[in-house]
A = this chain, B = another copy of it.
Amino acid sequence: MSSTIPKKPDPEPVAVTDEDAAESERLPRSLPSKRPGPPGGKRDENRRRRTRELCDAGLDLFLEKGIEGVTIDDIVRAAGVAKGSFYRYFEDKADLVEAIVSPLAAQVDDAFREGQAALEKASSNRRLFAAYQLLAEKLAGAIFLQPLVVKLYLQEMRTPSAGARAPIHALATRIADEAVSLTATARTHALWRPVHPRVSALAVVGSVEKLLFAFLSGEDLGELAEIPDALISMILDGLRLKD
Protein backbone atom coordinates (compact mmCIF):
# COMPACT_ATOMS: atom_id res chain seq x y z
CA MET A 1 0.00 0.00 0.00
CA SER A 2 1.39 3.35 -0.87
CA SER A 3 -0.77 5.58 1.30
CA THR A 4 -0.13 5.78 4.99
CA ILE A 5 -3.38 5.66 6.83
CA PRO A 6 -3.21 6.60 10.50
CA LYS A 7 -4.51 3.49 12.21
CA LYS A 8 -7.21 4.44 14.68
CA PRO A 9 -6.77 8.17 14.91
CA ASP A 10 -7.86 9.42 18.33
CA PRO A 11 -11.50 10.35 18.00
CA GLU A 12 -10.71 14.06 18.02
CA PRO A 13 -13.29 16.33 19.61
CA VAL A 14 -16.17 15.96 17.27
CA ALA A 15 -19.86 16.69 17.55
CA VAL A 16 -21.20 13.20 18.18
CA THR A 17 -24.82 13.54 19.19
CA ASP A 18 -25.64 9.95 20.02
CA GLU A 19 -29.05 10.78 21.40
CA ASP A 20 -30.73 9.13 18.46
CA ALA A 21 -29.73 5.48 18.17
CA ALA A 22 -32.25 5.21 15.33
CA GLU A 23 -35.17 3.07 16.38
CA SER A 24 -34.92 0.03 14.16
CA GLU A 25 -38.32 -1.36 15.14
CA ARG A 26 -41.16 -0.49 12.80
CA LEU A 27 -44.20 0.80 14.64
CA PRO A 28 -47.82 1.09 13.53
CA ARG A 29 -48.42 4.45 11.89
CA SER A 30 -51.34 5.60 14.04
CA LEU A 31 -53.33 4.60 17.11
CA PRO A 32 -57.09 4.30 17.56
CA SER A 33 -58.67 7.11 19.57
CA LYS A 34 -60.87 5.48 22.16
CA ARG A 35 -59.54 2.18 23.42
CA PRO A 36 -55.96 1.77 22.22
CA GLY A 37 -55.13 -0.49 25.14
CA PRO A 38 -52.17 -0.06 27.49
CA PRO A 39 -48.57 -0.05 26.13
CA GLY A 40 -47.37 -3.62 26.45
CA GLY A 41 -50.95 -4.88 26.54
CA LYS A 42 -52.40 -7.33 24.04
CA ARG A 43 -53.63 -4.73 21.56
CA ASP A 44 -50.28 -3.00 21.54
CA GLU A 45 -48.39 -6.26 21.21
CA ASN A 46 -50.63 -7.55 18.39
CA ARG A 47 -50.28 -4.31 16.46
CA ARG A 48 -46.50 -4.47 16.68
CA ARG A 49 -46.41 -8.13 15.70
CA ARG A 50 -48.66 -7.59 12.66
CA THR A 51 -46.67 -4.61 11.45
CA ARG A 52 -43.44 -6.52 11.85
CA GLU A 53 -44.80 -9.62 10.10
CA LEU A 54 -45.99 -7.55 7.15
CA CYS A 55 -42.72 -5.61 6.90
CA ASP A 56 -40.64 -8.78 7.12
CA ALA A 57 -42.69 -10.64 4.53
CA GLY A 58 -42.68 -7.58 2.26
CA LEU A 59 -38.92 -7.14 2.51
CA ASP A 60 -38.23 -10.78 1.66
CA LEU A 61 -40.53 -10.68 -1.34
CA PHE A 62 -39.23 -7.33 -2.57
CA LEU A 63 -35.68 -8.69 -2.53
CA GLU A 64 -36.75 -11.82 -4.36
CA LYS A 65 -38.98 -10.33 -7.06
CA GLY A 66 -38.42 -6.59 -6.98
CA ILE A 67 -40.84 -4.11 -5.46
CA GLU A 68 -42.87 -3.72 -8.62
CA GLY A 69 -43.26 -7.46 -9.06
CA VAL A 70 -44.84 -8.13 -5.67
CA THR A 71 -48.59 -7.90 -5.08
CA ILE A 72 -50.46 -7.22 -1.86
CA ASP A 73 -51.84 -10.74 -2.12
CA ASP A 74 -48.30 -12.14 -2.21
CA ILE A 75 -47.45 -10.19 0.91
CA VAL A 76 -50.46 -11.18 2.98
CA ARG A 77 -50.10 -14.80 1.92
CA ALA A 78 -46.45 -14.84 3.01
CA ALA A 79 -47.27 -13.06 6.26
CA GLY A 80 -50.18 -15.39 6.98
CA VAL A 81 -52.57 -12.50 7.38
CA ALA A 82 -55.90 -11.54 5.80
CA LYS A 83 -55.90 -8.90 3.11
CA GLY A 84 -58.07 -6.52 5.08
CA SER A 85 -55.48 -6.52 7.84
CA PHE A 86 -52.86 -5.17 5.49
CA TYR A 87 -55.06 -2.19 4.80
CA ARG A 88 -55.61 -1.59 8.48
CA TYR A 89 -51.89 -0.92 8.90
CA PHE A 90 -50.78 0.48 5.54
CA GLU A 91 -52.29 2.74 2.90
CA ASP A 92 -50.79 0.79 0.03
CA LYS A 93 -47.52 -0.80 -1.13
CA ALA A 94 -45.69 2.55 -1.18
CA ASP A 95 -46.62 3.07 2.46
CA LEU A 96 -45.18 -0.34 3.36
CA VAL A 97 -41.94 0.44 1.54
CA GLU A 98 -41.74 3.75 3.36
CA ALA A 99 -42.17 1.96 6.69
CA ILE A 100 -39.43 -0.53 5.79
CA VAL A 101 -36.94 2.06 4.61
CA SER A 102 -37.46 4.98 6.98
CA PRO A 103 -35.45 3.68 9.96
CA LEU A 104 -32.45 3.17 7.70
CA ALA A 105 -33.00 6.57 6.11
CA ALA A 106 -32.96 8.22 9.52
CA GLN A 107 -29.70 6.54 10.46
CA VAL A 108 -28.04 7.45 7.19
CA ASP A 109 -29.15 11.05 7.48
CA ASP A 110 -27.65 11.22 10.96
CA ALA A 111 -24.38 9.71 9.79
CA PHE A 112 -24.00 12.34 7.11
CA ARG A 113 -24.98 15.14 9.47
CA GLU A 114 -22.27 14.11 11.91
CA GLY A 115 -19.70 13.54 9.18
CA GLN A 116 -20.39 16.97 7.79
CA ALA A 117 -20.01 18.56 11.22
CA ALA A 118 -16.69 16.82 11.80
CA LEU A 119 -15.42 17.73 8.39
CA GLU A 120 -16.23 21.38 8.77
CA LYS A 121 -13.77 21.54 11.64
CA ALA A 122 -11.06 19.55 9.87
CA SER A 123 -8.07 21.55 8.80
CA SER A 124 -5.40 18.86 8.76
CA ASN A 125 -5.09 15.58 6.95
CA ARG A 126 -5.33 13.87 10.30
CA ARG A 127 -8.72 15.41 10.96
CA LEU A 128 -9.78 14.70 7.41
CA PHE A 129 -9.13 11.01 8.06
CA ALA A 130 -10.93 11.17 11.35
CA ALA A 131 -14.01 12.76 9.81
CA TYR A 132 -14.21 10.17 7.06
CA GLN A 133 -13.61 7.40 9.49
CA LEU A 134 -16.46 8.67 11.64
CA LEU A 135 -18.77 8.74 8.65
CA ALA A 136 -17.69 5.26 7.58
CA GLU A 137 -18.24 3.85 11.06
CA LYS A 138 -21.72 5.32 11.37
CA LEU A 139 -22.70 4.06 7.95
CA ALA A 140 -21.23 0.63 8.66
CA GLY A 141 -23.32 0.52 11.81
CA ALA A 142 -26.48 1.26 9.89
CA ILE A 143 -25.63 -1.37 7.29
CA PHE A 144 -24.87 -3.95 9.94
CA LEU A 145 -28.25 -3.41 11.59
CA GLN A 146 -30.31 -3.57 8.40
CA PRO A 147 -28.35 -5.33 5.66
CA LEU A 148 -31.44 -6.50 3.79
CA VAL A 149 -32.94 -3.02 3.72
CA VAL A 150 -29.64 -1.72 2.37
CA LYS A 151 -29.73 -4.34 -0.33
CA LEU A 152 -33.28 -3.36 -1.22
CA TYR A 153 -32.18 0.26 -1.42
CA LEU A 154 -29.27 -0.55 -3.74
CA GLN A 155 -31.46 -2.80 -5.83
CA GLU A 156 -34.21 -0.27 -6.45
CA MET A 157 -32.57 3.11 -6.19
CA ARG A 158 -32.08 3.80 -9.89
CA THR A 159 -35.50 2.73 -11.04
CA PRO A 160 -38.03 5.45 -11.86
CA SER A 161 -39.57 6.91 -8.75
CA ALA A 162 -43.23 6.37 -9.63
CA GLY A 163 -45.45 4.77 -7.00
CA ALA A 164 -44.04 2.38 -4.46
CA ARG A 165 -40.40 3.18 -5.17
CA ALA A 166 -40.74 6.87 -4.33
CA PRO A 167 -39.35 6.63 -0.77
CA ILE A 168 -36.27 4.79 -1.99
CA HIS A 169 -35.66 7.28 -4.72
CA ALA A 170 -35.97 10.11 -2.21
CA LEU A 171 -33.30 8.56 -0.01
CA ALA A 172 -30.99 8.09 -2.99
CA THR A 173 -31.27 11.76 -3.87
CA ARG A 174 -30.50 12.83 -0.31
CA ILE A 175 -27.45 10.54 -0.11
CA ALA A 176 -26.03 11.86 -3.36
CA ASP A 177 -26.57 15.46 -2.28
CA GLU A 178 -25.05 14.93 1.12
CA ALA A 179 -22.01 13.21 -0.38
CA VAL A 180 -21.53 16.08 -2.82
CA SER A 181 -21.86 18.62 -0.04
CA LEU A 182 -19.25 16.71 1.98
CA THR A 183 -16.85 16.75 -0.92
CA ALA A 184 -17.46 20.44 -1.53
CA THR A 185 -16.50 21.09 2.09
CA ALA A 186 -13.30 19.06 1.78
CA ARG A 187 -12.42 21.04 -1.29
CA THR A 188 -13.07 24.35 0.49
CA HIS A 189 -10.43 23.31 2.99
CA ALA A 190 -8.00 22.77 0.12
CA LEU A 191 -7.46 19.14 1.07
CA TRP A 192 -8.83 17.79 -2.15
CA ARG A 193 -8.13 17.77 -5.82
CA PRO A 194 -9.68 20.49 -7.96
CA VAL A 195 -12.11 18.01 -9.47
CA HIS A 196 -15.79 18.95 -9.76
CA PRO A 197 -17.15 17.89 -6.35
CA ARG A 198 -20.10 16.08 -7.89
CA VAL A 199 -17.71 13.98 -9.99
CA SER A 200 -15.46 12.83 -7.18
CA ALA A 201 -18.36 12.37 -4.75
CA LEU A 202 -20.31 10.22 -7.17
CA ALA A 203 -17.21 8.22 -8.06
CA VAL A 204 -16.65 7.35 -4.42
CA VAL A 205 -20.30 6.64 -3.68
CA GLY A 206 -20.50 4.53 -6.83
CA SER A 207 -17.55 2.36 -5.77
CA VAL A 208 -18.88 1.84 -2.30
CA GLU A 209 -22.36 0.99 -3.49
CA LYS A 210 -21.12 -1.48 -6.08
CA LEU A 211 -18.90 -3.29 -3.59
CA LEU A 212 -21.60 -3.30 -0.97
CA PHE A 213 -24.15 -4.73 -3.35
CA ALA A 214 -21.73 -7.46 -4.39
CA PHE A 215 -21.03 -8.28 -0.77
CA LEU A 216 -24.72 -8.34 0.15
CA SER A 217 -25.33 -10.59 -2.85
CA GLY A 218 -22.91 -13.12 -1.44
CA GLU A 219 -20.12 -12.61 -3.98
CA ASP A 220 -16.62 -13.62 -3.00
CA LEU A 221 -14.59 -10.50 -2.33
CA GLY A 222 -11.63 -12.19 -0.65
CA GLU A 223 -10.73 -11.23 2.87
CA LEU A 224 -13.51 -8.91 3.98
CA ALA A 225 -11.41 -7.21 6.64
CA GLU A 226 -9.05 -5.91 3.97
CA ILE A 227 -11.70 -4.15 1.92
CA PRO A 228 -12.19 -1.00 3.97
CA ASP A 229 -8.46 -0.23 4.05
CA ALA A 230 -8.05 -1.05 0.39
CA LEU A 231 -10.97 1.17 -0.49
CA ILE A 232 -9.88 4.06 1.70
CA SER A 233 -6.37 4.06 0.31
CA MET A 234 -7.68 3.81 -3.25
CA ILE A 235 -9.95 6.77 -2.65
CA LEU A 236 -7.42 8.87 -0.83
CA ASP A 237 -4.58 8.24 -3.23
CA GLY A 238 -6.93 8.94 -6.05
CA LEU A 239 -8.41 12.14 -4.72
CA ARG A 240 -6.23 13.60 -2.02
CA LEU A 241 -3.66 16.27 -2.74
CA LYS A 242 -0.24 15.05 -1.78
CA ASP A 243 1.11 16.42 1.50
User: A196 contacts which chain B residues (CB < 8 A)?
Assistant: 221-223, 226-227, 230
Q: B227 and A199: CB pair below 8 A? A: yes
Chain B residue nearest in CB terms to A195: B230
- A154 to B207 Cα, complex, angstroms: 14
Q: A199 and B213: CB pair below 8 A? A: no
Q: A158 and B160: CB pair below 8 A? A: no
How many copies the complex holds: the figure is: 2
A93 CB to closest chain B CB (Å) equals: 12
A64 beta carbon closer than 8 Å to chain B: yes
- A192 to B69 Cα, complex, angstroms: 42
Q: A66 and B210: CB pair below 8 A? A: no
- A199 to B239 Cα, complex, angstroms: 18
A148 beta carbon closer than 8 Å to chain B: no
**Which of A209, A221, A237, A239 has most chain B Cβ within 10 Å?**
A237
User: A82 contacts which chain B residues (CB < 8 A)?
Assistant: none
- A206 to B207 Cα, complex, angstroms: 4
Which residues of A in the span 21-70 have a Cβ within 8 Å of any Cβ on B?
Answer: 63-66, 68-69
- A198 to B234 Cα, complex, angstroms: 14
**Which of A158, A163, A195, A209 has most chain B Cβ within 10 Å?**
A158
Which residues of A in the span 188-238 have a Cβ within 8 Å of any Cβ on B?
Answer: 193, 195-196, 198-200, 202-211, 213-214, 219-223, 226-227, 230-231, 233-235, 237-238
A198 in complex: contacting residue of B198, B209, B213, B219, CB < 8 Å: B219
Q: B206 and A160: CB pair below 8 A? A: no
Chain B residue nearest in CB terms to A219: B198
A17 beta carbon closer than 8 Å to chain B: no
- A231 to B235 Cα, complex, angstroms: 11
Q: B163 and A154: CB pair below 8 A? A: no
For the complex of A and B, 6 pairs with smallest distance between CB atoms: A206-B210, A238-B238, A196-B222, A68-B68, A234-B238, A203-B207
Given A159-B159, A206-B210, A233-B238, 17 other A-B contacts at CB below 8 A?
A2-B193, A66-B159, A66-B160, A69-B162, A155-B160, A158-B158, A195-B226, A195-B230, A195-B234, A196-B221, A198-B219, A198-B221, A199-B211, A199-B227, A202-B207, A202-B211, A206-B206
